Amino acid sequence: MRAPIPTVTLPSGITVPALGQGTWNMGESAATARDEITSLKTGLDLGMTLIDTAEMYADGGSEEIVGKAIEGRRDEVFLVSKVYPANASRKGAAEACERSLKRLNTDRIDLYLLHWRGNYPLEETVEAFEGLKAAGKIEAWGVSNFDLADMDELLSVPNGGNVAANQVLYNLGRRGIEYDLLPWCQERSIPIMAYSPIEQGRLLHHPELIRLAKTYQATPAQIALAFLLERDNVIAIPKSSNPQRVEENRGSIDVDITDEDWAVLDAVFPPPSRKKSLEML
């Protein structure tokens, strides 16, 4: 019997799967579009109903792929997209959101993120996001690539406390957020969305992950995802254009790593002992 996907609860009370689907690099070629759509549909069938995209990815091409993948199934999906910092003004965010909605072929985005900090004051961006919420264009808003100081500042502006998530680079090889940002967000029930959870495939060649994978009759990717799924209030969003790989990602839920092997992973990929600047890809 396959284990259910664990869930994470957003500040609104809505629950989403802790294992979703990323789409970075999708939509860049017509030759791969069919496989990308099929993979996303496969993920939906497997319960990985959170899909993350952005207006930046393939200049909107990724959003178009997502729109085709969720056609006829919109109500099953928790849809996340992101706005460029250069568009994060009152007027710019509203216009960018409309363009994303059109590409996604939907009337609403469930979670709309500021992709990274830009030149517009956070107060103005939050005001724009709150306006989009009031208009029913988005259900919630959040941020991406925000370090602890950025989050502190965000919570100091009017309605900044309505932030629903922070999407950052987080995986076995990039554990810096565990020193301060992750516990800070956990204490405030602000979910962390972990992008590049297998370091765009680079972690898969690590000899210790390969060894552990053999021990658990799993794959290195499944071990890397199991690491994130063990963390409270963390949502992993691996990207795959291969339906078999999507199945493999779903199988990470069934990997039950022993305390002894968690200690091995900590020895090989040590948690931070001091503050590190937030890493980005």
> What domains can be seen in the chain, in order of their start residue?
14-201+234-243 (3.20.20.100)
User: Rounded distance, CA 7 to CA 81, Å?
Assistant: 20
Question: For residues 194-226, b (16+ Cβ closer than 10 Å) or e, as one string?
Answer: bbbbbbeeebbebebbeebbeebebbbbbbbbb
At 251 the three-state DSSP class reads helix
Q: What is the value of pTM for the model shown? A: 0.96
At 143 the three-state DSSP class reads strand
Type of residue found at 29 = S
Say what the pLDDT of residue 116 is: 97
pLDDT tens per residue across all 281 residues of the chain:
678 999 999 999 999 999 999 999 999 999 999 999 999 999 999 999 999 999 999 999 999 999 999 999 999 999 999 999 999 999 999 999 999 999 999 999 999 999 999 999 999 999 999 999 999 999 999 999 999 999 999 999 999 999 999 999 999 999 999 999 999 999 999 999 999 999 988 899 999 999 999 999 999 999 999 999 999 999 999 999 999 999 999 999 999 999 999 999 999 999 999 999 999 98
Say what the pLDDT of residue 1 is: 65
With tokens 């937030």, the residue in question is 278
85-102 pLDDT, tens digit per residue, is: 999 999 999 999 999 999
Say what the pLDDT of residue 173 is: 95
What is the dihedral angle through the alpha carbons of 225, 230, 233, 234, rounded to the nearest 10 degrees? -20
Closest CA to 137 of 188, 93, 179: 93
Provide the token pair at 71: 């056609």
Provide the token pair at 128: 């724009």
Query: 57, 120, 170, 195: which is the annotated catalytic residue?
Result: 57
57 is catalytic: yes
Q: What angle do CA 54, 236, 21 make, to 5 degrees?
A: 50
Provide the token pair at 267: 């020895």
Contact 184, 210 (CB under 8 A): no
Q: Across the chain, which distance is largest between two alpha carbons, in Å? A: 54
Type of residue found at 210 = I
Cβ count within 10 A of residue 72: 6
Q: How far is CA 178 from CA 8, 185, 222, 229, in A?
A: 18, 10, 21, 14
198-256 pLDDT, tens digit per residue, is: 998 889 999 999 999 999 999 999 999 999 999 999 999 999 999 999 999 999 999 99
Provide the token pair at 247: 């199945």
Question: If DSSP states are collapsed to H, E and C, what string results for 81-112?
Answer: EEECHHHCCHHHHHHHHHHHHHHHCCCCECEE
